Every structure is written in C-alpha cells, then in structure tokens.
Amino acid sequence: MPFQAPEIEWLGIAPELTVAGTALLLLLVDSLLKERFPRFVIPLLATAGLLVAAFLAVKGWEFARDEGAALNFSGMIAVDAFSVFGKMSLATFGLLTVWLAREYLRRELIEEAEFYALILFAVAGMMLMTSAADLVVMFLALETFSIALYVLVGFRRGSLVGQEGAMKYFLLGAFSSAFFLLGIAFVYGATGSTLLYRAGGADGVSGYLATTPGAEVGLLVLAVAFLIVGLGFKVAAVPFHLWTPDAYQGAPSPVTGFMAAGSKLAGFAALLRLLDVVLFPLVWDWRPLVIGIATITMVVGSVLAVVQEDVKRLLAYSSIAHAGFVFTGIIAGNDRGVSGSLFYLATYGLTVLGAFAIVAVLGGKEERRTRLNDFRGTFNEHPMLAGLMTLFLLSLAGVPLTSGFVAKLVVFGAAVEAGYEWVVIVGVLASAIAAFFYLRVMVVMYMVEPEADAPRARLGPLSLGVLAVTGAATLVLGLFWGPLIDLAEQARIFAG
C-alpha cells in the first residue's frame, strides 16, 4: 500500500505554530545575546508573535466562513469558526498579559525571557485545545498549557505562597490529567478510536454514536464522566476546585489573570465541543452530572468567597462561581447556549484580566498588599484605579451596563429557553450572594478611611494601557454587545 500523505491545511494550526515558534525564538535570542540588547525587545517580540497569530486566526476565520469548517491532519485538528473565536480571544488575553507582565516583572526584579516564553507556550497549548478534534491532541494541548502554567504559578521563587500554590496546582493537576487519560482510554475501548469526528477510515466518537444503539454506549458514558472530571479541574469547577485559591493567590497577579481568563476559555472550549457537539446524543446522560456540578459550583464559589480576606483569593472563588455560570450555557445545549458561553468566556476573560491588573498595581512590591484591608481608602489615593476596579467588580457581579451582565443574560437566557429555569434561579441567587463580596471590596475602597502611611502604588504606562483596554471592553461590551454576540453566534460552526 503506497504511503498517502495526509492533506494539510496549515492555516488550521498556524496561530499555534506562530506562538510556539515565537516562544522558541525568544529563548534563543535571550541565550545568544544575553545582556547585549535592551530588555524590552523580548516583550516586543512576544507582542509581535501574538499579533501575527491573531492575524492568522482572522485569516482562519475567513477560511472557515468561505470554505466551511474542515477537518485537518487526518481529522485530528478542526478548522472551524468556533476554534478561531477561541484563538482570537486567547491571543488577546496573551497580549494583555505580556503587557501587564512587563512592568510587574521589572518591579519584582524577575524579568526573564522564560516568563514570556512560558506565557506564549501556554497560549499555544490553549489555542490547540480549541482546535483539537482528537482526544490525544486534546491531551497534548492540555498538558502543554498546564505545564507552562505550573511553572508560571511558582515564578516568584522567593515567595512561599507562590511555591505552595505551584506545588498544589501541579500535584492536583497531574492527578486530574490521569483522570482525563483514563477517560481517553475508555473512549478508545468503547469506540476503537480517539478521533472525535468521522475521518479517514475511522468512525470517531460521533460516528460510533450515530451507528450504535443507545443501550450499548455504557462504557462511553463512563468515559464522558472521566473527561468531565479532567476538564472540570482546569476550569475550576467544584468539587475539583481545591487548587484554585492557593494557585491564584500564589501566582504573580498577571499570571493569575491569565489563568482565570485563558484556562477557563481553553477548558470550556473543549467541554463545549465535547458535550454540546460530539457527545450531544448522550445529553440525557451527561446533563444531570453537569447540572449537579454547575449548581454546586455556583453556590460553593459564591458562598466561600464571602469569607475571604485576601482579594486574590476572593477573586479565585469568584472565578469558581463563574465556571458554574458558564456551565449553565453548556447545560442549555442549544445554539444560544454555545454562543452565550463563548461570549461569556471572552468577556469574563477581559474583565478578570483587568481586575488582576489592578491587584498587580495596588499589591505593590512582592504583592504584600493584597489583603482586603490593604485596599482601604483606595478611592482617596487613586480615584481612577478605584473607579476601574468598581467597573470590573460590577461586571463580575453582573450588574447592567457592564459586559458581565450581558454575559449572564445570554447564558441564563439560553438555559431558560432550554427549559432549565430552576438552574437559572439557583444561578441568580448565587449571583446575589456573590454581589455581597464584590460590594465588600467596594465598601473598603470607597467608604473606609485609608491607612495613614500606606505606600502609593505606581502605575506604569503599559499597565495603564491594559486597564484602558479591559475597562473599555467591559463598558462597551455591556452597552453595544451586538457585534460580539454576532461573532459568537457565527462561531457556532463546528467541524465534523
């Protein structure tokens, strides 16, 4: 049998390749030219790489729109509008993180090329996650961004909380990866393939589901449960959330923001593709499980956030609660649910990056001032920072005129449309609880007098730029959300 070279559409993974290539280039440049060039070249290169990746993603969007969604690399990579939407969002998150990190790393005296390279590797892995149409590719993507994040969480080597967070994240992350692998093994056992879609000679999971009578898919159902556990860990869903507060607190704030925005998007992108598309025939099997996870995630995240005294931990629990809100869109399983979840992930990412940018600035040297009490009277000292933080917090709380409200509206709307009002009622009650702790931060910033000798925070131009972008996005997407929801609706085109 003659060897047949698979047909390859490079555009499908061009953004990933660009980002990963830039990361390698950064390391090379850094080790070859050591100290003989201005340091800003490194973040500049990273920026350029991410911009090119974003540009290629847009090209991919046009491709998916004109040529229709396609499978690539013998069906292992999906080139569709859905993945492109994810990649564009991830490139944006990556850019904002790089800009924010520049001033942060200089302040902490840890500016090294490895940091930027790791961010880029993580972005590449997350991007691949949105495209993966084969469970093994998905696992590779998952590990690529996870390992980069393990290192990034512990990047402040001198910090004990950083080390603790990284250790916890790594141990529990490895554990969850094992679950994910087990799930893959079961899928292979059930269907004889790890492909998601029918491609080449293989049936893939969707082909298997189309041809197998419902009573015989038991093993696959078990596999789905394991896959949900593995991915649920990455998106910080209860009860797989235990690493979240420690990792979020220990990581450098720009990394925390990036994790909250990026891991969530990557994890949920995989969940959306798996549950709402490939495994949708099994919806009656996985839905009860996901409803259970969603409701306890919303409630536990919101309730535990109430008692937090550290702003980073508070935002960590809030991020857990938000995972629950995104799950309501997945539970809905309808068109609005998919586009609503995408919209949610994109807007939440921008908002949470902004919030952690503020924490990075206000936290001061070595992030010693991230406790709620350290934010006392911020409004008197830095009215603009307090105002922006208020905007982000209101958005996280889901108050109208912010993108967070619209995001909740679209996923809750999808769930109502699908007939899951009671899940939505749990969701809104959890939001009401959540509003309490967002308000607590505002109370501290506005209504309590500042400490007498509090050091002034320094806001550099790049951080200011990140805040301007995220702040504007939070406000504008709350008022004129038509274009983005339109994009998210177009992104419902899946391969396969």
Binding site for another protein (CB under 8 A): 379, 383, 394, 399-401, 405, 409-410, 412-413, 416-417, 421, 424-425, 428-429, 431-432, 435-436, 439, 442-443, 446-447, 480-482, 485-486, 489
Q: Which is nearer to another protein, 97 or 339 (CB)?
A: 339
Cβ neighbours, 10 Å, residue 10: 11
Amino acid at 222: L
Rg of the chain taking only CA atoms, in angstroms: 22
Residue placing its CB nearer to another protein in the complex, 115 or 379: 379
**Positive/negative CA dihedral, 31, 35, 38, 43:** positive
349, 90 Cβ separation under 8 angstroms: no
State the minimum distance, in angstroms, from the CB of residue 439 to another protein. Answer: 6
**Least Cβ distance, residue 389 to another protein (angstroms):** 14
What is the smallest separation between the CB atom of 474 and another protein, expressed in angstroms? 14
User: Least distance in Å: CB of 275 to another protein?
Assistant: 22
Least distance from another protein to the Cβ atom of residue 424, Å: 5
Least distance between another protein and beta carbon 299 (Å):
14
* 3-class DSSP string for 412-451: HHHHHHCCCHHHHHHHHHHHHHHHHHHHHHHHHHHHCCCC
Q: Where are the alpha helices (DSSP H) in 192-259?
A: 204-211, 218-234, 244-250, 253-258
CB of 478: closest distance to another protein in angstroms?
9
Contact 358, 270 (CB under 8 A): no
Q: Which is nearer to another protein, 164 or 417 (CB)?
A: 417
The smaller minimum CB distance to another protein, of residues 174 and 447, is found at 447
Smallest distance from another protein to CB 462, Å: 25
Residue 153 or 487: which CB sits closer to another protein?
Answer: 487
In the complex with another protein, which residue's Cβ is closer, 239 or 419? 419
| CB-facing half-sphere around the CA of 39: CA atoms within 13 A | 13
Residue type, 300: V
Residues in the chain: 496
SS3 145: helix
Separation CA 139–CA 369 (nearest Å): 37
Q: Is 40 helix (H, G, I), strand (E, B) or coil?
A: coil
Q: Which is nearer to another protein, 432 or 468 (CB)?
A: 432
Q: Cβ 318 to another protein, closest distance in Å?
A: 16
- Closer residue to another protein, CB minimum distance, 294 or 462: 294
**Cβ proximity to another protein, 161 vs 485, nearer residue:** 485
Burial of 290 (0-12, 13-18, 19+ CB in 10 A): buried
